[in-house]
Structure 1
Amino acid sequence: MEVLYGLHPVEEAIRSGGRRLDHVLLSRERGNPRLERLAELCKAAGVRVSLEGKDQLTRLAKTDAHQGAVAAVRERKFLAVEDLIAAPARFGRKFYLALDGVEDPHNLGALLRSADGAGVDGVLLPERRSAPITGVVAKTSAGASEHVPIARITNLVRSLEQLKKANTWVLGLDERGTPDYTEFDFASTDCVLVLGSEGSGLHDLVKKTCDHLLRIPMAGSVSSLNVSVAGAVVMYEALRQRQRPLTPAPVEKPAKPRKGLGS
């Protein structure tokens, strides 16, 4: 059993229907419309609700940032890479996100929130060298972690090669890469964006597996952005291109026969 806390994570866990909620604990605080709406949502979904004091909720959530809502949920069932490949694309071509060593749960939560907002078709998350999906991640993602398709993988390079066989371009983000991310065409082919760890970036073998290394141009003194910010920048550029309507090829009108003398 796992613990989710916070109004948005608990609400989105109920709305997504992705996993079973055993019960929800709400604060005894009266007159809070958000807690009252959450109680009604639980009732409509058939989820058992009990009222507790704030101290008890803090003890269960192990933080006082629970906003008066704590839920006990079944362990999440992750997908396989094959499931991501088989699912239909949300916007034209497929666009995945792969994480190579993102260990900060706040960065992971922020990336999942951006992935959901940008319509990413799935996230590849290694079992090792990666932050697990915890209550902190769910809270930081504002509940988006309950909606994003996530494949838990054992070997990132092997999974990237598997996507390559499915005609997917592997794109690493690297400050020394080329071209700029805005120069890549995300709308005409399936792609997976690979982000490296907070400190050292992409591992060498992962970098060698990439078909292209893209960069975000920097106009200031620092050489790179935080990984969650950098990921959001590229994900939304990909969304912009994938949502852009395709311009049909111009139809050439047949040439009119020319009339000459004697015709």
Structure 2
Amino acid sequence: MPGNSSRRGAVRKGNSRKGPLVGSGGQRRRGLEGKGPTPKASDRPNHKAYKAARKAEAGKRSAPARSGGKSAKQSGEVIAGRNSVVEALRVGVPATALYVAGRIDSDDRVKESLKIAADQTIPIMEAQRTELDRMTDGATHQGLALQVPAYEYAHPDDLINPEAPGVPLVVALDGITDPRNLGAIVRSVAAFGGHGVIVPERRSAGMTASAWKTSAGAAARIPVALAGNLTRTLNDFKKAGFFVIGLDMDGDVELPALDLAGEPLVIVVGSEGKGLSRLVSETCDQIVSVPMSSTIESLNAGIAASVTLYEVARQRAEKS
């Protein structure tokens, strides 16, 4: 007889009124024992919660890594569009990959981007346009995208270096939120012999690709440090022998009369709208204003920093 008929006890005895019948082999009893607790929805492969969890996990793995401070808040970014990509490559914005759409209509910008990427040994990856749409969050990429890693910030203590050439000169930003202003200030610091820039961790522009491009490559030479608390950081610099001056249109001292130019110096630049914050202003040794025509209310933060850095460099050159 088929099935379990040859196993003892699996078949009714022949004198049974109901006749021989194949038994369950214990399956019914085991079925009553249960299978343990019901798995969570996110652990069941056929459940939508499981698929959503796997998708979120994959997104985390593909997201650029972040590292401490503002770099923990600011991830790597993707530059999209032919003009933006080629300009970033021209000024040496650090990149980890150049993505090019398959069967792209090549023009001079695409050819130059490919050449610069090859010269700088930046990996060139072919990607589907749907993948580029996802990477650039739907931006107009024109078949070209550049992956830029997160900026690695220095620590403010790194700028307190008695062995640095020349008299120490640092610029700190208080409430500057435009990355182009940050880039312009980094460029001016490099031009006038400064040693670094400090940005607060919160409510401040970070070293994005836009800031790097505006710096015209100076960001590769001038360290940008991250301050968890700007007021505390400025006090640390004062303890290390620095003087701190803040720029404000209502300053007590006009820039040409600045008598601290020859000292280790931190120049604090406030935002165009609100100026210096109260605590930062109270921390400064002097509040300095840039003299200008009465027809102009204030200068752009980047320009004000540049003018001040030039005057400090000029006075130092005269005294040397």
Assess same fold via TM > 0.5.
Answer: yes
TM value normalised by structure 2: 0.63
1:259 aligns with none
1:45 aligns with 120
Q: 1:44 to 1:136 in 2, by over 3 A?
A: closer
Q: 209, 226, 239: which is aligned to 2:283?
A: 209
Give the Å deviation of 1:26. Answer: 5.8
What SS does the aligned partner of 1:194 have?
strand
What SS does the aligned partner of 1:86 have?
coil
**Partner Cα distance (1:80, 1:229) in 2:** 26
Matched, 1:156 2:230: yes
Matched, 1:60 2:136: yes
Matched, 1:82 2:157: yes
1:71 aligns with 146
What SS does the aligned partner of 2:185 have?
helix
Q: 1:51 to 1:224 in 2, by over 3 A?
A: same
Higher relative contact order (CA 8 A, sep 6+): 1
In structure 1, the gaps of 5 or more residues are 248-263
- 8 Å Cα contact 1:179-1:215 kept in structure 2: yes
Higher-Rg member (1/2): 2
What SS does the aligned partner of 1:102 have?
coil
Matched, 1:168 2:242: yes
Percent identity over the alignment? 33
In structure 2, the gaps of 5 or more residues are 1-63, 65-75
- 8 Å Cα contact 1:10-1:70 kept in structure 2: no
**Partner Cα distance (2:143, 2:288) in 1:** 43
- 8 Å Cα contact 1:26-1:70 kept in structure 2: yes
1:231 aligns with 305
**Which amino acid in structure 1 is aligned with residue 173 of structure 2?**
L
TM value normalised by structure 1: 0.75
**Which amino acid in structure 1 is aligned with residue 291 of structure 2?**
P
What SS does the aligned partner of 1:198 have?
coil
| Greater Cα shift, 178-187 or 138-147 | 138-147
Q: 1:175 to 1:63 in 2, by over 3 A?
A: farther
| Greater Cα shift, 112-121 or 167-176 | 112-121
1:99 aligns with 173
| Greater Cα shift, 217-226 or 169-178 | 217-226
**Partner Cα distance (1:138, 1:26) in 2:** 22
Matched, 1:116 2:195: no
- 8 Å Cα contact 2:254-2:290 kept in structure 1: yes
Q: 1:191 to 1:57 in 2, by over 3 A?
A: farther
| Residues 134-193 of structure 1, C-alpha deviations (whole Å, 9 max, x = no match) | 233334444444443111111011110111112111010111113211222465211010
**Partner Cα distance (1:232, 1:22) in 2:** 32
**Partner Cα distance (2:138, 2:77) in 1:** 10
Matched, 1:138 2:217: no
**Which amino acid in structure 2 is aligned with residue 73 of structure 1?**
V
- 8 Å Cα contact 1:111-1:228 kept in structure 2: yes
What SS does the aligned partner of 1:131 have?
coil
Q: Name the Cα RMSD after superposition.
A: 3.3
Give the Å deviation of 1:200. Answer: 1.2
Matched, 1:24 2:80: no
- 8 Å Cα contact 2:230-2:280 kept in structure 1: yes
**Partner Cα distance (1:156, 1:226) in 2:** 21
**Partner Cα distance (1:239, 1:52) in 2:** 49
Q: 1:158 to 1:43 in 2, by over 3 A?
A: same
Give the Å deviation of 1:74. Answer: 2.5
Q: 89, 97, 112: which is aligned to 1:10?
A: 89
